[in-house]
Amino acid sequence: DVLDPERLIQCPYNKHHRIRACRFPYHLVKCRKSYPEVAKELATCPFNARHLVPQADLSDHIMKCNDKGFIEQDIVNQSSGFQREQMNAVSTWQAPPCDEDWET
């Protein structure tokens, strides 16, 4: 199950490390410091920071990344929601009553 926090994920920095999904982000930070040479060779997916792939494979990963669909759907939902709000927006602002008489 992809959502199981106890499932084991292989570390991109050291293939012998298998980390529980709930600890994976913390492990990535720690391992990046421990393996700086490997870190230089990896690129971070723009859709999910937990996806670290070899720099040469990044464009292929971006095309196939499962998380891309979630981001694209969020963008569509936000833009259509904004357009709906713009179309339905009717100004309810009214000038406050003025008690001043500038002529006097």
Nearest Cα to 63, choosing from 20, 10, 72? 72
Q: How far is CA 13 from CA 51, 52, 68, 76, in A?
A: 12, 9, 23, 35
pLDDT for the residue 87: 61
pLDDT for the residue 6: 95
pLDDT for the residue 94: 80
The segments of the chain whose pLDDT lies below 70 read 80-91
pLDDT for the residue 88: 63
